[in-house]
Structure 1
Amino acid sequence: MKKNQTIPEKIWQFFCSARLAVCTLVLLALTSIIGTVILQNGTRDEYIKFYGHGWYNLIRAFDFDDMYHAWWFLSLIAVLCINIVVCSIERLSITWKIIFPKKITFNPDRFRKLKNFEILSVEKTLSQLTLESEKLLSKTIGPVIKEDTGKTILLYAEKGRWTRLGVYVVHASLLLLLLGALIGSLFGFKANLNLDEGKTSDTAVLIETKKPVKLGFSIRCNDFNVKFYDTGVPEEFRSNLTIIEDGKETLTKDILVNHPLRYKGINIFQSSYGSAQPDGVSLEIIDQQDKTTEIRKIKIGEEFQLPDGETLFKLEGFLPHFDFSGNDLGQAFIGRISEKDGKHFQIGLPLKFPTFDKMRKGSFAFVIKGADQKQYTGLHITKDPGIWYVYTGFMLMIIGCWITFFMAHESYFIEIEPTGELSSTLSISGTANRNSHGLKFKIKKMFHTIKG
């Protein structure tokens, strides 16, 4: 390391350190374990229940409850990206000179000292053996450099210089994977949307923060169907959805589990289903004095006059859980009766107990004859603008690993020396930057090919 380095040089040396890469990777691994152990994106009550007030404050302080989006976790990924880029640039100049030299040269003495050096005596003339060896190298390895020392003929060939770039392909793949993760974390989202049949919405609810997020278009659920096995377990549930953008229907498609709808980078998955809130009900109105009845259909928010001509009934709303004396009676409509003397009161009409209102002993009783019960489709909506960076990174990772581990820069050296008019001695050896055992096998094979 140079003395009296400038601040930019010190920063450069810091980021091109292999120790920094190892430390960053260890920290990412350890913090990922924390993110796996600690509940992510839970509610305050859940954290206090599981960990207590003290640990909850610590978890919130360090964003352990949403660790993979925490500023310090994203900073670790950014540091690793910078480290990979700086290390690659630092070593690329040397590698580049090896791959693209101004002139290819070789040192015969270096090859003569190698352990895989093989010597063969052949009953062939110098010119004949040189021609055969040159053809063999040219065919199996590549262009041949030939030198005549006056006493011997030297042949040199090599292949795979470019394979030294394999490690840089791996580095590029890591950068794309990390970049894709950063982009997805910063600009993507995961959200849910429960959409009733016939309804339209352009807003989903983020899973992590429970905040609304605009989709940039609207989704309409045209229809929902569910099939069941004989055991009652759902076999298939399907939603027919229409995408509406700028007031125009642009796409209609059926979605099933694992068969999502994809539109402008947003994926819409079939996730769940359930009973939607009904918007109307058919009521049988019973006059408790003369027992006359009347059937009336009414929607939430509507009001009508009862048969006595004086009392009004309004269907005010719907509750998923109706409490009666501490008992949950399930889904129920809520109505309001307004009498002529100004008195008014609410009544509950549970779906599970259609005749429940008869117990009230009022002037009129209301019996549920049927409700406009619809279902909702549960949609899981995701957006990950970094996904193509991740896919490209995985492809480059496979290519880079193949180049790095299964290909090599190989150099072959042949020296031919005449020992008589019709005989010669052939020496052969080679080097490779990896897989020396494979190179030794190739040299022996070449040796036997020349020997015939």
Structure 2
Amino acid sequence: MSNQVISADPFSKIWNFFTSVKLTIVLLLSLAITSIIGTLIPQNEDPQAYFEAFGGVLYQLFNLLDLFDMYHSWWFQLLIVLLTANIIVCSIDRISSNRRILFVRNPSFRLPRFRNLKHRQEFTNAHTPQQLKDIFQAFIARRFRHSQVEATENGFAIYGEKGRWTRFGVYTVHLSVVLLLIGGLIGSIFGFDGFVNIAEGESVNQIRLRNKPQMVQLDFAIRCDDFDVSFYDTGAPKEFRSSLTVLEQGRPVLNKDIIVNDPLRYKGISFYQASYGNLPSNEAVLSFTNNNTGKVYKNKATMNQPMQLPENLGTFEIKNFLQSSEFRGHNIGEAYIGVLTPPGGDPVQITLPLRFPTFDKMRKGNLVIAVVEHVPRFYTGLQVGKDPGVWVVYSGFILMIIGCYITFFMSHQQICLEIVAAGQKSRVIVAGTANKNKTGMETKVDRLTEKLTQMV
């Protein structure tokens, strides 16, 4: 008879591949190494910063390998999927091999096993074995989930068992790790991280992804009603606060003031206070002094809206607001740029710096203009994030705590009370075993023996 080479079942090959401990070690080492790389290489920075730090060649290579956003890269997600499959298959394989221990309705007990235990307690009593059996059987039945009585050559053996389900503690930990990995994978695939700047009084419904030329369209709008910033004596920002309103089809549905680490959350999207900045003010209160009559007028001027001046002095219009302006090579700071048009004359450009109210006097015109009140206009910078897997991750953490408690502090316990006749008396031998915490089980046997002696 010729020898035939029978190829293994492809499913068995795949199954054996995922039950391999070597695969687990390789995947864990790969994730550890890539996490170190993700720590050494700052993630989601500006491309120009990467180019300056690594040069053109390394920048192209790292960008090709997605090392600048590795936690969203296809290969990192593949490692997560493989590790998840590895844990699931290993757990199923282990449960299958231990099913006779884990899935038992009527547990069996072997008396020789308890007789061979090193730690046992004994005591004698004047009652007969039958009398002690009736007393102790009810006691064991109350304290253990399963109890059983067996007749022996010289008396009886009473067995008790509880906590068989605690053997699933390690698999609960496995499941928690799977949930953590799946939650991270969901966030990596379906989540996003972006930012948006919103001027006071304006609303937006698009988010720009961080370091990507893409916009995310929201099915609602977010409006900045107000922004406020306070400063320390040194001039450093102390607190900045944004009053935000969520709009659904133009109608407000939610309002919240946010500060750093206290975001607004809506439909799974979080808006964090991240930064702020100045914008050109739309309005300013100006004073107009007529040098001929000495009269002073105050009027509110709006950007790009000409205003008629009293006493037939012409018109004035604010054209621009500069955060930094210069005069003869000197920086004079923030300033409005306006145009004064006298009656029948040519328009004159006028600079109105905020720090120098009398600056326009140097023009030596019939009309002196100054800024009386300037209300800064801000925009709020929001970091926007969506992570739909966060609740899966939270569930994984909770399940891990439960699984660790079961694994380390609970055990599968079996107890045996052997009652044998000893002349006119009875001898009771108490022994017990547990799959974990042998010392704790010995203490439990001692306490149980003490209670049994007190009962009779």
Q: TM-score, normalised by structure 1?
A: 0.85
**Partner amino acid, structure 1, of 2:159:** Y
| Shift, 1:326, TM fit | 7.0
Tell me the alpha carbon deviations over residues 146-183 of structure 1, each in whole angstroms, 9 at most, x when there is no partner. Answer: 11134331221100111111122111211111111111
Moved more, 313-322 or 28-37: 313-322
Matched, 1:165 2:184: no
- Give the Cα–Cα distance (whole angstroms) in 1 for the partners of residues 112 and 30 of structure 2: 48
Partner of 1:99: 102
Tell me the alpha carbon deviations over residues 301-342 of structure 1, each in whole angstroms, 9 at most, x when there is no partner. Answer: 4457999x99997644444444677765544445578999xx
Partner of 1:392: 395
Q: Where does 1:99-138 land on structure 2 (aligned, <5 Å)?
A: 99-101=102-104, 103-138=106-141
Matched, 1:80 2:86: no
Q: Where does 1:225-304 land on structure 2 (aligned, <5 Å)?
A: 225-228=228-231, 234-282=237-285, 297-302=300-305
Q: How many residues align?
A: 450
Q: TM-score, normalised by structure 2?
A: 0.84
| Shift, 1:447, TM fit | 2.4
Matched, 1:186 2:226: no
Tell me the alpha carbon deviations over residues 374-427 of structure 1, each in whole angstroms, 9 at most, x when there is no partner. Answer: 23333333222111111111111111111111111111122221122x312222
Partner of 2:31: 28
Whether the aligned pair in 2 keeps the contact of 1:132 and 1:450 (CA below 8 Å) is: no
**Partner amino acid, structure 1, of 2:104:** P
Partner of 1:437: 439
Q: 1:345 to 1:59 in 2, by over 3 A?
A: farther
- Give the Cα–Cα distance (whole angstroms) in 1 for the partners of residues 145 and 295 of structure 2: 104
Partner of 1:12: 15
Moved more, 257-266 or 75-84: 257-266
Matched, 1:449 2:451: yes
**Partner amino acid, structure 2, of 1:436:** K
- Give the Cα–Cα distance (whole angstroms) in 1 for the partners of residues 53 and 293 of structure 2: 60
| Shift, 1:35, TM fit | 0.9
Partner of 1:402: 405
**Partner amino acid, structure 1, of 2:444:** K
Tell me the alpha carbon deviations over residues 29-80 of structure 1, each in whole angstroms, 9 at most, x when there is no partner. Answer: 2211111121211223212333333332332122111121122111111111
Partner SS for 1:426: strand
**Unaligned regions of 5+ residues in structure 2, if any?**
none
**Partner amino acid, structure 2, of 1:18:** V
Partner of 1:423: 425
Q: 1:439 to 1:266 in 2, by over 3 A?
A: same
Partner SS for 1:278: coil
**Partner amino acid, structure 2, of 1:426:** V
Q: 1:348 to 1:36 in 2, by over 3 A?
A: farther
Q: 1:124 to 1:30 in 2, by over 3 A?
A: same
Q: 1:13 to 1:263 in 2, by over 3 A?
A: same
Partner of 1:376: 379
Q: Where does 1:200-239 land on structure 2 (aligned, <5 Å)?
A: 200-209=203-212, 211-228=214-231, 234-239=237-242
Whether the aligned pair in 1 keeps the contact of 2:47 and 2:211 (CA below 8 Å) is: no
Moved more, 401-410 or 4-13: 4-13
Identity of aligned residues (%): 42
Whether the aligned pair in 1 keeps the contact of 2:46 and 2:211 (CA below 8 Å) is: no
Moved more, 139-148 or 203-212: 203-212
| Shift, 1:369, TM fit | 4.4
- Give the Cα–Cα distance (whole angstroms) in 2 for the partners of residues 96 and 359 of structure 1: 96
**Unaligned regions of 5+ residues in structure 1, if any?**
none
- Give the Cα–Cα distance (whole angstroms) in 2 for the partners of residues 102 and 66 of structure 1: 52
Partner SS for 2:7: coil
- Give the Cα–Cα distance (whole angstroms) in 1 for the partners of residues 214 and 348 of structure 2: 36
Partner of 2:42: 39
Cα RMSD (Å): 3.7
Whether the aligned pair in 1 keeps the contact of 2:335 and 2:354 (CA below 8 Å) is: yes
Matched, 1:60 2:54: no
**Partner amino acid, structure 1, of 2:110:** N
| Shift, 1:136, TM fit | 3.2
Q: 1:326 to 1:434 in 2, by over 3 A?
A: farther
| Shift, 1:145, TM fit | 0.7
Q: 1:346 to 1:60 in 2, by over 3 A?
A: farther
- Give the Cα–Cα distance (whole angstroms) in 1 for the partners of residues 160 and 359 of structure 2: 96
- Give the Cα–Cα distance (whole angstroms) in 1 for the partners of residues 101 and 209 of structure 2: 52
- Give the Cα–Cα distance (whole angstroms) in 2 for the partners of residues 339 and 134 of structure 1: 112
- Give the Cα–Cα distance (whole angstroms) in 1 for the partners of residues 353 and 191 of structure 2: 42
- Give the Cα–Cα distance (whole angstroms) in 2 for the partners of residues 135 and 105 of structure 1: 19
Q: 1:387 to 1:149 in 2, by over 3 A?
A: same
